[in-house]
Amino acid sequence: MSDATVLRTPSPAVAGGTDSGFAAAFYGLIVRDLRVLRRNLGEFLGRTLMQPFLFVFVFTYVFPKIGQGFTGPSGETFATILVPGLIAVAIVFTGIMAVGLPLSIEFGATKEIEDRLMAPLPVWAVAVEKVVFAAGQSLLAGLCVFPLVYFIPATPVSVHVSNWPLLIAVMFLACILSGSLGLVLGTVVRPEKIGLMFAIIVVPLTFLGCVYYPWATLDPVRWLQMLVLLNPLVYLCEGFRAALTPALPHMPTWAFLGAAALACVVLLWSGIRLFYRRVIT
């Protein structure tokens, strides 16, 4: 039997079951994760808010105060340029932290993943639940950035929602992409390699993700402009720029939405397959 066939086959616990039973089991896993999150709420808020807070504080408050502020190609403040990238980074990092790190540990010494697999759900649904729960955390993380960039910067921030449907679409894709990326990393990276993951994956993902500059401004470095297109974070940053700071240069809507949607499909599909393979081994 092929992997694809097994992934579509429900576990014996749900074979012949009802949709309501599936939904109840899926909801039960969500509730379990919510209770764990509530017990660790302080840790969640710390890892969610610390990085965007430090970026906003240093680059948009301290630097202008000491005369080292940055401006964009048309005179925009660096705070305005930074906002879309900060939202994208907060969402992606939260997804990695919410799925990748716990899943790596669950597959490792604790073997907690075995408890989850006892739920009356097919294996793929257990993986999807993790992505859905991480997406909810990522959404909260992205929303938390807005008050930071409105109250902390020492220079004006020109950010407004120019297109609500576009913002909602980009936010949805960003949250699903972050959870799917966390699922992939959590199934691939061993617990003892977590530090290496941040060094060779997460850090380059951020610095080459057009967080601090629009993609179009890389035109003088053409080879790099083409290379960063492999980074899914680029399309999220460009999407938030189009929705929040349309005056800044950004990719066409069809380009970043299409690429982000494709990245979601590829990462989610890859994550489920990798999750299944780790389970059966």
pTM for the full model? 0.84
Q: Which residues pair with 77 in a beta bridge?
A: 71
How would residue 281 be classed by pLDDT, with cut points 50, 70 and 90? low
Residue located via tokens 């540990």: 105
Higher pLDDT, 131 or 119: 131
Residue pair 95/138 in contact by the 8 Å Cβ criterion:
yes
67-121 residue pLDDT tens: 666 666 566 777 788 889 889 998 998 888 888 877 877 776 666 677 777 777 8
Task: Give the pLDDT confidence score for residue 2 in this predicted structure.
Answer: 42
| Nearest Cα residue to 277 out of 184, 181, 178 | 184
With a cut of 50, say whether residue 8 has pLDDT above it: no
Tallying the residues shown for the chain, one arrives at 281
What amino acid occupies position 96?
A: I
Residue pair 276/6 in contact by the 8 Å Cβ criterion:
yes
186-241 residue pLDDT tens: 888 777 677 677 778 888 888 899 988 899 989 999 999 999 999 999 999 999 99
Residue pair 236/173 in contact by the 8 Å Cβ criterion:
yes
Residue pair 56/149 in contact by the 8 Å Cβ criterion:
yes
Question: Which residues are within 8 A (CB) of 257 and not within 5 positions of it... i.e. 6 or more apart?
Answer: 169, 170, 173, 235, 239
CB atoms within 10 A of CB 77: 20
How would residue 10 be classed by pLDDT, with cut points 50, 70 and 90? very low
Token pair for residue 197?
Answer: 């993951």
6-10, 203-207, 219-223, 247-251: least confident range: 6-10
Most confident of 6-20, 198-212, 241-255: 241-255
Question: Which residues are within 8 A (CB) of 30 and not within 5 positions of it... i.e. 6 or more apart?
Answer: 129, 132, 133
Query: Average per-residue pLDDT in the chain?
Result: 82
Signed CA dihedral, 43, 239, 162, 211: sign only: positive
139-155 residue pLDDT tens: 988 888 888 887 887 77
